Structure 1
Amino acid sequence: MLNHKEIRSYFPILDQEINGHPLVYLDSAATAQKPRQVIEAIEHYYKTNNANVHRGVHTLGNRATDDYEGARDKVRKFINAASTKEIIFMRGTTTALNTVASGYGRQNIQEGDEIVITYMEHHSNIIPWQQLAKEKGAVLKYIDLEADGTISLEKVRATITAKTKIVSMMMVSNVLGTINPIKEVTKIAHENGAIMVVDAAQTAPHLVIDVQDLDCDFLAFSGHKMCAPTGIGVLYGKQTLLENMEPVEFGGEMIDFVGLYESTWKELPWKFEGGTPIIAGAIGLGAAIDFLEEIGLDNIAQHEHQLARYAMDELATIDGLTIFGPQDEMKRCGLVTFNLDDVHPHDVATVLDMNGIAVRAGHHCAQPLMKWLDVTATARASFYLYNNEEDIDALVKGLRVAKEYFNDVF
């Protein structure tokens, strides 16, 4: 069991009141809060080692480079990549997925080829493939979902064909919480000659990732959802694929030789990191990995499964409340998406905010999924290691207040 009081003490932002109530932060799927360890690591860099990396021979530059590349190795170990050459620092999941679509897709997709995704994808794992399909005359196909928001391997096999060249799927849904069978889907993709791209934005904060065990070809995640700063993310790619890809951003840092009419690129991973890199962000990500690994990803996952079960049980006591996604807490990560009958999710979130409770309301950058669910928007409470059952009790109480208020109004 996690020591809630100790863990919460690491997060200074949580020690405040919102609208006269203690803050209950239930929006970690949008962004996680930052512990002191991460804040202090970033502060230390700017106070003592602030310099550009890879460029100079002075002491500050060497320190900064060591810390930056040290963070890369922490990421390598965190996802069990074979080499740091396979770890590319980027702005976030969105940039990483766009890089794969542009860098790999433009070189390898031809007219008539198929790209397969699902209805549950985040917009950042839909739009790049839409654009690639339009540009190349490829076919974009969707794997349909089961009634509970899970994916069946039978439908995966029925959708992926010999014409499929790319399969891209989120490992955990940011709306339904569904944990997808990525390893099995990857095997099916490879059997049909396709590569597997994984959106792990909602996975990296919560579950152990082993890219060699998954055998995926590319995997992307963001730092800010796992206690690291905003503006830093990771693209993992198998070395042979990255070596054959052209970079999509050009400039300093990523070049080997520049002539008047031709240039050559540095070796991996720097080939894909043009310009001054996200130095402080990478250092902060390294500190976040240290923090999460000290607590243990398995412990965090167990804690969140328990919170999800407790939340679904308690929310089910509210008349007129619908919960979306798998009912089995072991098939979902620590979030619950729901709607109150006849009350818009934005109104629900506003009332909750007046009671100090932060949740997300809207389409969650997943409009195709909203259409599949036959709703325009939903409310979402997402949990992390600093939440406990008291936070869920506050959520349930706040929802009862919202329900009563809007029943009186209408």
Structure 2
Amino acid sequence: MTQQKLNTRNRRVDVDLDNESTALFVSNGSSKRSLDCTTDGLAKAVAAKQLVAVNLDQDDGIFARVVFGQANKQEREEAIEQGCGKLDLSVGVLAVAGGNAYVFNEIDAKEQEEEYGEYFQTFEVTPGEYLVTVYTLMGSYNAFRVTRREGWKGFLPWFRQTRSRKKFPGWLMEYALLQGEDVDAIPEGKIEEDNDDQEPLGFVIQLTPATDQDELSPLERGYQLDMEPLEPEKCPLGILPKGLSEQAAIEEPPKKAEPKKPAKAKAPSVDKKAMAEHFRPFAEALFNQEFDKAAEFFIESLRGEALEYMTIRRQRRSRWEPLNKIWLSRGNAEETVSEWRSEFEKDYNLFAPDEVSIENYLGDIRCEYGKSSAYASGKIRRYLIVDCALIQTADGPKLAGIYFSS
């Protein structure tokens, strides 16, 4: 991406970053391809004011707004978390990235540019030392942390009680649906029309000059900000990013009309982070050996077999590491469904081949128990990923396959 200027004349820049990690990295220009990305190495980078890191609950793309100076009232009031760290920007360059794509010292310049150019954005800033405040907004998967707070009653009650004169945002209706709330009780006229499926911002990253009086956030694992929960007075409306729409395609000269080809089947679109959160209770029930509860997430025709399958395979392992993360993986639908069928024919998985098609396949719910890095380093002895095929049914999203992959 082209480096952008961030200054008093251009105070706000929204970015759309690719991401395959569970981290948001904000760093300085001197950190480019120079950091040891082990836990100890990242902790040293934070201590040297080269890095501010935020842990993400999902390896999903990042919509963020970078603000030079104070965030405005809405940006602050819609935040559900905040964390603060310091950066030495004496070289005059700020970088915001999905994971370590900008800082990793084992990547060469060509690979970084060709493979990870969409994973980070750099900015030209006035050299100096800055306080970096990261606000979590509702467009981030981390926003679902509010549902686990004491006294939580649901997205719809929160909005209804604090925004009685406003229409329900489409993204909030989807969050509520996936949390099992009664969205059918909301009249259609009370719901905002979709805004081209645009997701709201997930983070605001505020840069202000550092002072000796700045209070910094505690750190988790020695380098990640321990985010402070915030309680918005009103349910957030969501802040849509600006300036990220792609340029309209250039029209080509008209071509001679050709017979129409049958449209190729496509998997339905879906909000990945919201869908994964919907199935978190399934992953937790499986860990807690609540097999009847976990089986309810499957299509009806597979529940009995799923109950037996989960019971046998779960109890083969007397000890499991706790659930580390859950996400929705959406690869090539045709290839993935074919792979599920092939593995089923070899008795490697449990699957309902007659119930799954390209048209209703939504992706794979992946539940990770334990951390792969901890397993690779020998810190833990058990590591497991459970894959589940997800389809759309008349009763909502349901599981139609399961496989203990490691």
Indicate whether the TM-score tops 0.5: no
Structure 1 or 2: larger helix share?
A: 1
More strand by percentage: 2
Q: Which has the higher contact order (CA 8 A, sep 6+)?
A: 1
With the length of structure 2 as denominator, give the TM-score of the two structures: 0.27
TM-score (norm 1): 0.27
